[in-house]
Amino acid sequence: MNISRRQFLKIAGLALTSAATARVTFEYSSRIEATWPVVEQVQVPLKNLPSALEGYKIVHLSDIHLHPFTQIEFVQEIVMLVNDLKPNLVVLTGDYVLEQAEAIFELAPVLARLQTDAGVFASLGNHDFWTNVAVVKQGFKEAGLTVLQNKGVILGTGKARLYLAGLDV
Q: Which residues bind Fe ion (CB under 5 A)?
A: 63, 95
Q: Give min distance, CB of 158 to Fe ion, in A.
A: 37
Which CB atom, from 61 or from 63, has the smaller least distance to Fe ion? Answer: 63
CB 12 to Fe ion: min, Å: 14
Which residue number, 14 or 63, has a Cβ lying nearer to Fe ion?
Answer: 63
Judge contact between 113 and 144, C-beta under 8 A.
Answer: no
Q: Which residue is nearest to Fe ion (CB)?
A: 95
Alpha helix ranges (H) inside 28-163: 72-85, 104-111, 126-131, 133-143
63/147 with CB nearer Fe ion: 63
State the Cα–Cα distance between residues 131 and 109, nearest whole angstrom: 19
For residues 98 and 64, the answer to whether their CB atoms sit within 8 Å is no
Minimum CB–partner distance for residue 163 and Fe ion (Å): 25
Nearest distance, CB of residue 7 and Fe ion, angstroms: 9
Cα torsion 11, 23, 162, 119: sign? positive
Question: Closest CB to Fe ion among 66 and 95?
Answer: 95
